[in-house]
Amino acid sequence: MTKLTCFKAYDIRGRLGGDVRLTSEALKLALAKGLQDAGVDVLDIGMSGTEEIYFATFHLGVDGGIEVTASHNPMDYNGMKLVREGARPISGDTGLRDVQRLAEAGDFPPVNEAARGSYRQISLRDAYIGHLLGYISVNNLTPLK
Element holding 24 (H helix, E strand): helix 24-37
Residue 138 resides in a domain? no
- Distances in Å between the alpha carbon of 57 and those of 3, 33, 77, 87, 145? 25, 19, 25, 5, 37
Residue 137 resides in a domain? no
Number of domains in the chain: 1
For the question of residue 71 being annotated catalytic, the response is yes
Q: Work out whether strand 80-84 and strand 119-121 pair parallel, antiparallel, or are unpaired.
A: unpaired
Out of 24, 71, 118, 123, pick the active-site residue: 71
| pLDDT at res. 12 | 58
Residue 39 resides in a domain? yes
Closest C-alpha to 80, from 131, 143, 18, 138: 18
- Mean pLDDT for back-to-back runs of 10 residues, the chain (145 residues): 42 77 93 93 94 95 92 89 92 89 90 93 96 92 88
SS (H, E, C) 33-100: HHHHHCCCEEEEEEECCHHHHHHHHHHCCCCEEEEECCCCCCCCCCCEEEEEHHHCECCHHHCHHHHH
Residue 60 resides in a domain? yes
Assign residue 50 the CATH number of its domain: 3.40.120.10
Residue 61 resides in a domain? yes
Residue 116: exposure state from Cβ atoms within 10 A (0-12, 13-18, ≥19) = middle
The pTM for the full model equals: 0.82
Domain that holds residue 72: 13-129
